[in-house]
Amino acid sequence: MKTMRNILLFIRIYFTFIFFLFLMGLSFYMLFSYNKYHHAAYSRVAGEITGNISKKYNGIEYYFQLKRTNDSLVKANAALYNKLKQDYEIPDTANKMIIDTLTLDSIQQQRKYLYMPAKVVYNSVNLLNNYVELHRGGQQGITPDMGVIDVNNSVVGTVVDVSNNYAVVMSLLHEQSNLSARLKKGGETGIVTYDGKTPGILYLKDISKLAKIHQGDTVVTSGFSDKFPRGLLVGYVKDILNDKSSSTYTIRVNPAANFENLQYVYIINNLQKEEPAQLLKKVKSK
C-alpha cells in the first residue's frame, strides 16, 4: 500500500514532465511515420547504430570463440603435416626383385614421421637454460628425444622428460642444446647452439670459410638427426663472427620460432628411428 502511494506521489509531482515526454515521443512518431525524408533519415541512423552494435557483439563473440577456432586449426594442421610427402620414406629397392607377394597396400607402412599437436602450458625465454612444458605425455605416446616444432614449421626443441600427461621440452634457447643444421642455399652443415648470454640469438658453428653467406640466409635442419626431418626452419643469418685464427665461421642466427608467443606445437615421432639406431649401436660395439 505504501509503495502504491509512493508511485502515485511520484506521478503527481512529475506529471507535467512525464506528459511532456509522452507528447514529444508521440510527435516524433508522427514525424518519422508520415514524413518520408525524416523516415529515411531515421532509418539510416538506426541502421548505423544497430550495425555498430552488431559489429561489436560479433567481435566479442569471435574473441570468445578463438580458443575453439585455434584448437580446430591445430588439429587440421596436424592432419596436413601427416600427409606431407617427406614424412614417408620407402627403403631403396633398386637392386631387389619385386614380386607379387610384396605387401604395399597401405602407404602407412612407409610413414616415417608422425605429428602430434600439443598445447603449451609453460615457457621460459630469457633464462640461461629455457624449457617448454606441454600438456601431452606418456599416456598420449610421447617419449624423450622427440623433436618439437611450432605451427609455422620452425624448430622449438627436443623432449627431455615426460610424465603421464605432460612433457618437458629443452628449448633451442638452452645451453646444452645441439642441433644439426645447414645453410639452405649452399648446403654447408654445422651445429646450432645457444650460449645463454644473448637472449634470442643462436650460433651456427663449424661452417667452412669457403661458404658464401649473406645476411638473411635461411638455416634449416640437416636431416642427420633422427628427431627432425630435413629442411625444417631453424632461423635466419644475422651476421658472421669471423675468427681469423679459425678455419671455420661462427654465424649468429635469429631463430625462426617465436619463443615469446608459443601456444601450440607439434611433437614429431620418428617411426623408423629404431632400426638405424640399433645398426649404428651394433657397429660401435665391435
CATH code at position 244: 2.40.10.350
Beta strands in the chain (DSSP E): 113-123, 129-134, 147-150, 155-162, 167-174, 179-183, 189-193, 202-208, 218-221, 233-241, 248-255, 264-270
- Is residue 72 in a domain? no
* Phi, psi for residue 44 in degrees, rounded to 5: -65, -50
- Is residue 259 in a domain? yes
- State pTM to two decimals: 0.66
Q: What is the distance between the alpha carbons of residues 227 and 158, in angstroms, rounded to a whole number?
A: 8
Per-residue pLDDT of the chain (286 residues; tens, 9 = 90+): 667 777 777 777 877 877 778 877 777 777 656 665 555 555 555 545 644 554 565 555 555 555 665 665 666 666 666 655 555 544 434 433 333 333 444 555 577 888 999 999 999 998 889 999 999 999 999 999 999 999 888 999 999 999 999 999 999 999 999 999 999 999 999 999 999 888 789 999 999 888 999 999 999 999 898 899 999 999 999 999 887 888 889 999 999 999 988 888 999 998 888 887 788 778 877 7
- Is residue 248 in a domain? yes
- Is residue 267 in a domain? yes
- Is residue 281 in a domain? yes
DSSP one-letter code for 88: B
- Is residue 57 in a domain? no
- Domain extent at residue 197: 116-286
- Is residue 180 in a domain? yes
Number of domains in the chain: 1
- Is residue 220 in a domain? yes
